[in-house]
Structure 1
Amino acid sequence: MARDEPQQAADHLAGALNHAPTLPEAHELLGRLAALPGGGLTLFPLAPHVSAGGLAARAHLLAAAGHPDEALPLLAAASGRAPGSDWAGVPWVGDPALGVRIDPGLLVQLLMRLCTAVGDPAPTRTRTTLRPYLDVAKHAVRANPEHAMLLGAGSALARRIGETALAVEWAARGARARPSKLAEIWLGYAYRSAGKVPEALAALRRAVTHDPDDLSVYADIAGTLADNGRLEDALNWVDRALERDPDYDCAVHTAHRLRHRADGDLAHLVRLADFIRDHPDESHEHTDLADCCREVSWLSGTPAAAPLPRGLARAAEEPSADAVHRLRQVASLSWAHPPAAYDAAIPLILVQPFDLLAVLAHPPADVAAAEIWACLGLLHHGAEDPWLDSARRKILLDLIDGGLDRVTEAALFALIVSAWIDPEARADVAAIVAGRLTEVAGRPGARSVAELALATPDLDPAMRATAASMIRSASVPRQRGRGRNRLLLRWRRQ
């Protein structure tokens, strides 16, 4: 600014706000830019890829020019990109006059965009950074006490930041002012956050009467019932939704999750994975499959590892630097579910099979579960070839031949993943796993194969029962929680 280079100064200020949205020095310099002709707004244009700091800077200049109602949506857009940063912790946002001045419809849109950017409930830090927007909503509600949409959107934000009593009050007022499906949904969610389950279910049922074809509400009711120990009632609501539309994604996801909760049958999760693969264009992101797989051995991560076979280590060259680099970029000790592990390994198609085999012989010490990811990488080579005659099947079968060790476990897991993603491979893989389970019964390390068997689609029920019995009879139960994390570290160290 001293060299009369305001655009460069503006770029630096936008960068500073990205890191420290309330930095006093940055706001002092913004004040100097605001004194320029045009208020400095041309220095922060609304370009297609403007940074959050650039949005915030323009918002502050608009507020300084007497247009805080135009500024708030820009500041909220910055908050939507980085909700944990304190974008709104500035005096002009807290001015009660802003809530009176801003158009209620515009504020509703702003609040709903903020709600979609955070979880329900929001993380602790985000609750603090979003509170100024709730204060704006309070001032606006005082000025517009019967605006149903404002009351509902304000309720949605209030419940996310822990103001459940206010969320219930506003949602109830909105439902009285203008009864509608959306008003009852907001009220049901508010009651649910406040722990008032009967009231929540009543509101959601009223939402169904407003619009019997909105099957997402059926799924919400089912989820609420299931979370409160009423699984049979929950499944009845899911069935009602599926009768109307057997392919409605929310109902299908909820149905498979609840049926798996009811009987523990892996087939529900496999069918859900099939549905996800066959219906890529869903209404929104679902986490039901990942939720069911969480903390289950092999379905969501590696258990404790067997020793590495030294014979293989003598049989191959060291992996190339490029192979190690690409492996390091994808490898992890956990994954959301088996199809997600397969997808995460896609970049390894750029690593030749001989290099992936070299990784099995000489796993890099700093790569998490390198053997698993090398075997998953092998699945992506020749993926277009029919399973039974494929090279990837032959290589993995060769790798499981022998004793129980890290490589055989990894190869067996890769075979199981192939069954998750390819229905044509399921009968073959189930037979392979059943044969391996029978072979290792009674031997040290058999528990790991039993756990792998329980993750195998279409495994014969008798073999599944055998695997479960082997796990129950194991002398040392597999640890969970913190203990499981220590076991995962063993895989990394060995």
Structure 2
Amino acid sequence: MTEERDEPALTAAEELALARLALDEGDLTHAAGHLAAALVQAPTLPEVHETLTRIAAASGGDLDLFPLGQHAFVGAVVARAHLLAAAGRAAEGLDLLVAATGHAPGMDWAGVPWVTAPQLAERLDPERTARILMQICAVVPDPAPRAARGPVRPYLTLARNAVAAHPRHALLLGAASALARRLGEVTLAVTWASRGVRAEPSKLGEVWLGYAYRSAGRTRDALAALERAVGHDPDDLAVYADIAGTLADTGRLDQALDWIDRALAHDPDFDCAVHTAHRLRFLRDGDVAHLVALADFVRDHPDDSHEHGDLAESCRSRPWLGQVTPAAGAMVDALRRALAADGAPGTAVRLEALEPPSAMRTVAAAVPGLDVEVTGVADPDPREPRRDTTCQLWRYDGTTAAPTLPVPSAAAAERVRQLAHPAWPHPPAAYDAAVGLATLELTDLLGLLVHPPEAPPTALGRVLAGQDPSLWVRCVQVWACLGLLHHRTDEPWQTSTRRRVLVELVWGVEDWITEAALFALVTAAWVAPAVRSDVAGVVAERLSDVATVARVRPVPIAASLAHLALATPGLDPAATALAHQLTGGASGGSSRPGALRRLWDRLTAPFRRP
């Protein structure tokens, strides 16, 4: 199904006018085409339906005016549905409307009188109605956002009418309950599901009742219903996972894991149980090994029965697992204060130790009037790479840093502007998204690190530029380093250009780029088990070095590097313990101050569960 035709887009009124003109000239084919286009833009407009009635009368109800096919136009599908209903074939018409809703759930395809009329529900076989409601449930989130519920409400009216006409049909009651639950009608969902179970006890009925109770906050009743469902069918392991998830939501992790272990004893590779088990074990002890094992399972089982969100849910809002960590240090603190004061520089910033060059340059560009005084350069000198490198990105004149590389191409800048974001579902998803940078030249990728382009003129870009430009710079650096992971992937890892460059960046001048490069290496370890030992060794060495330096002078990137270490597959216990020590037990996600927390909530909203 498609939403477009070959002709340029017109308004609904224009399409309708052309449809009427063609109809008056007897050109029914063009009349039907323009009517279908008007229907897409205004599916409930009375004038559209009046014109459709005229076309039907002129053609004798010719359905071929609105053909179906592999790439059927959605307007034609909906028009055909209305013609079928008018011809007394409402069940077939309803099937087409449901298909249109599945294609574009946000459109009010069903908001027409014949769908909500009680007579339709009376004529339809209740089992067919139940199946239709289940199809709708498959495309509606649970719960649906309030703003998205309107186009689906006609189907709830159909459910009400059907239940009134067939009050003891168990399958219908359960499916109606599932739809009511999604639309926020929780009390009605419980009522219908309860009636369905009383009419005909079954596993599916108990599952629907359990979900309804859970949405109503009646956890004990929900668990009882789900356990009865297990009694009906002890081999349906998905219900075990549902019980475990419900228990975990109430903090009963040990009981939840008992249920998961029972499911895994039946089938160690059952996808729902595996996903839930790894998520709950990570929730219990915070060991990233559980999430890495889950990512491996997802990679090795691409044909799972349905999509799971456990990995993304576990990584969400966690430093480096699901988002860039905000920069730390006196310079970015001064930047945030100045922006909060509408750009007024305020008092001078006095630095007892030189901060990362990316921080110094970002703040200087964002708040030109800020007076920065560097009182000294402590040892070890932060202007020097931590190890010898051929990839020198900065040169210093006293305490002022300047890039050594030219500005990247405009094409490279635009490519990263389109991709860069401070949040991602999980590291493998970030790796996959960065493939869009695979064709960039190495010089461009490196140039982006020290010459980040301006934030794009999007909602995200405006928020970042106005409230914390440091986040945008860090986004560019992170995605440029992820792009390096896709550079010359035909080269064996150990001797590859991508590994050599990233490792040199990790050991270069102490900077935000250090974090970005280390994240790219950690991401490589997530997606390629063969490189895990190598990456874990690099991470452990770099973490040990930063801990040594932090004993004698401030290291603004230390806590972030520690969080990166905790996200590293296969990190040895000593390095893990050191990472916990450097983070000081901070989560990196929930301890941010109010203004920055609100900003972060806005930026990461697209990656939260609907």
Using the alignment, how far apart are the partners of 1:53 and 1:38 within structure 2? 20
Answering whether residue 295 of structure 2 is matched by residue 273 of structure 1, we say yes
SS in 2 for 1:48: coil
* 1:278-306: CA deviation from partner (whole Å, max 9, x where unpaired): 11111110111111111111111112246
In structure 1, the residue matched to 2:555 is 444
Match of 2:574 in 1: 462
Q: Does 1:483 align with 2:505?
A: no
- Counterparts in 2 of 1:240 and 1:322: CA distance versus 1, 3 Å: same
Are 1:397 and 2:470 an aligned pair? no
Structure-2 separation of matches of 1:116 and 1:258 = 26
More deviation in 195-204 or 454-463? 454-463
Partner of 2:17: none
Preserved contact between residue 111 and residue 151 of structure 2 (Cα < 8 Å): yes
Contact 1:85 1:126 in 2 (8 A): no
Quick check: 481-490 or 203-212, which moved more? 481-490
1:393 and 1:174 mapped to 2: Cα distance?
60
Match of 1:345 in 2: 434
2:244 maps to 1:216: no
Aligned to 2:489: 383
State the partner residue of 1:406.
512
Range moving further from structure 2, 27-36 or 240-249? 27-36
Counterpart of 1:237 in structure 2: which amino acid?
W
Partner of 2:252: 230
Distance 1:235 1:473 in 2: 25
Q: How far did 1:391 drift?
A: 2.0
8 Å contact from structure 2 (residues 31, 55) kept in 1: no
Q: Distance in 2 between matches of 1:370 and 1:140?
A: 54
Report the Cα distance in structure 2 between the residues aligned to 1:24 and 1:404, rounded to whole angstroms: 66
Residue of structure 1 in register with 2:74 after alignment? 52
- 2:21, 2:207 → 1: CA distance? 56
The alpha-carbon deviation at position 276 of structure 1 amounts to 1.0
- Which of residues 327, 331, 337 in structure 1 aligns to 2:420? 331
Deviations 1:104-124 (A, max 9, x none): 222122111100101111111
Q: 1:318 aligns with which of 389, 396, 407?
A: 407
- Of 397-406 and 235-244, more deviation after overlay is shown by 397-406
**Structure 1's 182 and 140: CA in aligned 2 closer, same or farther, altered over 3 A?**
same
Q: TM-score, normalised by structure 2?
A: 0.76
1:139 Cα deviation from its structure 2 partner = 1.7
1:241 is the counterpart of 2:296: no
Q: What stretches of structure 1 of length at least 5 have no aligned partner?
A: none
Larger Rg: 2
Distance in structure 2 (CA, Å) of the matches to 1:487 and 1:241: 38
In proportion to residue count, which structure has more helix? 1
8 Å contact from structure 1 (residues 192, 200) kept in 2: yes
| 1:179-198 Cα deviation digits (max 9, x unpaired) | 22212211211221122212
Q: C-alpha deviations, 1:368-409, integer Å up to 9, x for none?
A: 522211111111223344432222111101112223323222
**2:89 pairs with one of 67, 70, 73:** 67
What SS does structure 2 have at the residue aligned with 1:36?
helix
Q: Which residue of 1 is the match for residue 311 of structure 2?
A: 289
Q: Answer whether contact 1:303 1:484 (CA < 8 A) is retained.
A: no
Distance 2:413 2:50 in 1: 49
Cα deviation, 1:7-42, whole Å, max 9, x if unaligned, reads 333223322322332223322322222222232522
The CA deviation at 1:482 is 5.3
Distance 1:22 1:313, change over 3 A: farther
The amino acid across from 1:399 in the alignment is L
Which amino acid counterpart does residue 477 of structure 2 have in structure 1? E
1:361 aligned to 450, 460, 464, which one? 450
Give 1:307 shift: 4.4
> 1: distance between equivalents of 2:485 and 2:405?
20
Offset, 1:485? 5.9
Aligned-residue Cα RMSD (Å) equals 2.4
Question: Does the C-alpha gap of structure 1 residues 214 and 481 become closer, same or farther in structure 2, counting only changes over 3 Å?
Answer: farther
* Between 171-180 and 249-258, the greater mean CA deviation after superposition: 171-180
Query: Is this contact kept in 2: 1:450–1:468, CA < 8 A?
Result: yes
Distance 1:126 1:313, change over 3 A: same
C-alpha displacement at 1:480, in angstroms?
6.7
Task: Give the total of aligned pairs.
Answer: 489
How far is the alpha carbon of 1:481 from its aligned partner?
7.3
Please report how far the alpha carbon of residue 214 of structure 1 lies from its aligned counterpart in structure 2 after TM superposition.
1.2
| Aligned mates of 2:254, 2:602 — CA distance in 1 | 40
Gapped regions of structure 2 (runs ≥ 5): 1-19, 328-355, 359-392, 396-400, 457-471, 604-610
Distance in 1 separating the partners of 2:154 and 2:325: 45
Deviation of 1:460 after TM superposition, in Å, equals: 2.4
Contact conserved, 1:300 with 1:334, CA < 8 A, in 2?
yes
Alpha-carbon separation, structure 2, partners of 1:135 and 1:240: 41
Distance 1:228-1:488 versus aligned 2 partners, 3 A rule: closer
For residues 462-493 of structure 1, the C-alpha deviation after alignment (integer angstroms, 9 at most, x for no partner) is 3223222222289x995177514647999xxx
Q: Does 1:132 align with 2:154?
A: yes
- TM-fit CA distance, 1:313: 6.2
Q: Determine the structure 1 residue equivalent to 2:194.
A: 172
> Counterpart of 2:21 in structure 1: which amino acid?
A
Contact kept in structure 1, 2:439 and 2:487, CA below 8 Å: no
Q: Corresponding residue for 1:17?
A: 39
Task: Please list, as runs of the form range in 1=range in 2, the aligned pairs for 1:39-118 lying within 5 A after superposition.
Answer: 39-118=61-140
The 2-side partners of 1:155 and 1:231 are apart by 29
